[in-house]
Structure 1
């Protein structure tokens, strides 16, 4: 029996966005939270946690009034 746990949804979303940021250097905006909620069938808080991971890594920044940009 393995001790591996399935990856948390927010980490999977963060991984996908991280790859997209790295593969698309011209990318400036992250997808809207509502789009990610629908795509991954997750809650708003799960998407926020994914954005927070990217923010801690210096890859994303929150915009006033909502939304997220790729950090320059």
Structure 2
């Protein structure tokens, strides 16, 4: 089977030649089971977000652990 793809950051299309079973296998990887729903990425996970993962981790840790660096449920120990 031959199909046309346009690689990311490229303006030209490329023809790919694969066996039918390999094409079906790669296509099925994008299908979700019947009870699943696709979740789009919003907020800091979106492609246009200006905040990186390390900043999010720091903010979550600060709000969860406070200034002590220990989770609130361990504060009495």
TM-score, length basis structure 2: 0.24
- Higher RCO, Cα 8 Å, sep 6+: 1
Give 1 or 2 for the bigger CA radius of gyration: 2
TM-score, length basis structure 1: 0.25
